[in-house]
Structure 1
Amino acid sequence: MSMVLFASVVRVRDGLPLSASTDYEQDKGLQETKKHLKGLSKKLSQFPDRCSLKTGPYNVNFTSSLGVGYLMVCTENYPNVLAFCFLDELQREFLVTYDTKRINSAVRPYSFIEFDNFIQKTKQRYNSPRSLSTKINLADMQTEIKLRPPYQLSPEDLSLINGFSHSTASKYKGIAPNQMLEPVTLPGIVACILSILCGALNLLRGVHAIESILQNEDEDFNYVIAFFLGTAACLYQCYLFAYFSVWRNIKSFLAFALICLCNMYLYELRNMWQILFHVTVGAFATLQIHLRQPQGKAPDYNV
């Protein structure tokens, strides 16, 4: 019989158990699987935010979002779609019931043990598929799983739970979808267009500077470098706005600083209004990069 057997909620940063379902099962295989679950809970931050692990006749599934992880053990034939829908429902209720400050300040294990009541009720619902048929759009959930399937942990991953290596960390780099950025806003689009315009103007002036050097050897080649560096900085700001990157805000400030330095060097070739325009656009683009942060909320399963 396919069913959910156990579920728990933990804090991602240190694996502190916050709540769990009451365990009535004494099966040795299940108890061994729960040991794997305990090990996983302490390493959630090092894995993608949606994973599955097969351990004998049981499957372990977990998701993490906003610093909280949701884990479950189910029988191997339990539908994958329903498993992650179950976890998503736990996530929704937990985040509505408890605020982030309270979660982060929890010191004792199972500080939110009263959440067990909701876990038990949800388990009963998901162990009775007939009660779910009118409440869940299976087609939408199936599509979500196909578009972004859970990462399948291997026995190698399991053996590294108690000794996580740097090479394993690089293996998961970039998998987690919480690196997706927030939706693009109109000011952000305007900032990108203006940055591209500034980059194009710098590129055009750089080409003209090269032509001047070819015609007159006394021209300063450093002007060409300044124009091209300004172009690169403007385009790089567009890239930082569009895509997630490590140290993204710092990189945007460095790009803005480069824009300022290039325009300071080119003060003899530009009037004050032109310099002010380029610097203002650079500052505006930097602000938009800072405002467009990575998404913290996990995707919606349309439950």
Structure 2
Amino acid sequence: MSMVLFASVVRVRDGLPLSASTDYEQDKGLQETKKHLKGLSKKLSQFPDRCSLRSGLYNINFTSSLGVGYMMVCTENYPNVLAFSFLDELQREFIVTYDTKRINSALRPFSFIEFDNFIRKTKQRYNSPRSLSTKINLADMQTEIKLRPPYQLSAEDIGSINGFSQHKQSKYKGIAPNQMLEAVTLSGIIACILSVLCGALNLLRGVHAIESVLQCYLFIYFSVWRNIKSFLAFAMICLCNMYLYELRNMWQILFHVTVGAFITLQIHLRRPQGKAPDYNV
């Protein structure tokens, strides 16, 4: 029998579980699959925004948007279109019910325990195809999955988490840099212009100019470990200005360090763009 067995909502940046369905299933294979799901939840930021993973007799499907991940375990024969329609319903309800500030400030696991009731009711609906078919229109989801099918994860992709022993580099990493970033703000434009100016002023010093160019690149394009790279670039700017202390006056040093700090902040503030739901569908 095809059915949804378990579902959870997690915060993407750290895998903190925000809500989950109550599960009394003691099947060993399902419990093992849930361990895989827990491991995946801690690495959602490294994956494309829509993925599937086969785990024995079960499938793990998940989507992520606006800093929140929606995950589920279903039987291997459960239709993909129903699985992702189920996740889409969870996403729509969750982002309407809870604002981003509250999600980001959550400290304890299952801070939104009251959302479990919606997960339970939605799971019951999706496990009753007869009553479900009259309440939702799957045509749009079918078209979307056909045009942009979920990425199929494998043991090679996710490495050695929760019993997987493969250590090869993930094939999906090439997808990450194409992720869109949020719209550029006025302060971001100013920071980028000032950084280009710093790079031009340091053009004769080679490596020192590259740091400003790198920061501009990190601001404009998405990159894996983007924030860490920006902090390293800023650290190099500080070190280079310390090295050039005798060749520059205090105002010049202060200008370069301030611009470096400003664009580093803008890189941190410009988040990857989540897929906003279409409420007209």
Residues 178 and 294 in structure 1, CA contact (< 8 A), matched pair in contact too: no
Cα 1:202–1:190 change in 2 (3 A) is same
Q: Secondary structure at the match of 1:173?
A: helix
Aligned-partner SS, 2:202: helix
| Contact 1:49–1:178 (Cα < 8 Å) also in 2 | no
Are the aligned partners of 2:202 and 2:209 in contact in 1 as well (CA < 8 Å)? no
Which of structures 1 and 2 has the bigger CA Rg?
Answer: 1
Shift of the alpha carbon at 1:156? Answer: 2.1
Corresponding residue SS for 1:168: coil
Change (3 A) 1:131 1:35: same
- Between the two proteins, the alignment pairs up a number of residues equal to 281
Q: CA deviation at 1:11?
A: 1.0
Q: Percent of aligned positions with the same letter in both sequences?
A: 90
RMSD over aligned CA atoms reads 6.8
CA separation of 1:276 and 1:164: change in aligned 2, threshold 3 A: same
- Contact conserved, 1:49 with 1:176, CA < 8 A, in 2? no
In structure 2, what is the Cα distance between the partners aligned to 1:77 and 1:187?
50
Contact 1:144–1:301 (Cα < 8 Å) also in 2: no
Answer whether contact 2:36 2:162 (CA < 8 A) is retained: no
Deviation at 1:95, TM superposition (A): 1.0
Q: 1:243 to 1:137 in 2, by over 3 A?
A: farther
Higher mean displacement: 151-160 or 54-63: 151-160
Offset at residue 46 of structure 1 (A): 1.3
Q: Runs of 5+ in structure 2 lacking a partner?
A: none
Distance 2:192 2:44 in 1: 36
Checking the alignment, whether the CA contact within 8 Å between 1:141 and 1:302 is kept in structure 2 is no
For residues 161-219 of structure 1, the C-alpha deviation after alignment (integer angstroms, 9 at most, x for no partner) is 369999967632342598246799999999999999999999999999999999xxxxx
Unaligned 5+ runs, structure 1: 215-236
CA offset at residue 105 of structure 1? 1.1
Aligned to 1:226: none
Query: TM-score if structure 2 supplies the norm length?
Result: 0.65
1:139 to partner: Cα distance: 2.3
Where 1:267 maps in the other structure, the secondary structure is coil
More displaced, 271-280 or 191-200? 271-280
Matched-pair contact (CA < 8 Å) for 1:137–1:302: no
Q: Is the 8 Å Cα contact of residues 12 and 45 (structure 2) preserved in structure 1?
A: yes
Q: CA deviation at 1:23?
A: 0.5
1:300 Cα deviation from its structure 2 partner: 4.8
User: 2:66: which partner in 1?
Assistant: 66
Q: For 2:194 and 2:26, how far apart are their aligned partners in 1?
A: 65
Alpha-carbon distance change, 86 to 189 in structure 1, aligned in 2, over 3 angstroms: same
User: How many angstroms does 1:2 deviate by?
Assistant: 0.7
Classify the secondary structure of the residue corresponding to 1:54: strand
Q: TM-score, normalised by structure 1?
A: 0.61
After TM superposition, the structure 1 stretch with the greater mean CA deviation from structure 2, 173-182 or 246-255, is: 246-255
Shift of 1:44: 0.9
On the 8 A contact 2:159/2:168 being kept in 1, the answer is no
Contact 2:12 2:41 in 1 (8 A): yes
Q: Which residue of 2 aligns with 1:31?
A: 31
- State whether residues 12 and 64 of structure 1, in contact with CA within 8 Å, keep that contact through their aligned partners in structure 2: yes
Distance 1:251-1:10 versus aligned 2 partners, 3 A rule: closer
Secondary structure at the aligned position of 2:228 is classed as: helix
Q: Report if aligned partners of 2:155, 2:164 keep a CA contact under 8 Å in 1.
A: no
1:107-135 Cα distance to aligned partner (Å, 9 max, x none): 11111111100000000111111222233
**Deviation of 1:136 (Å):** 2.4
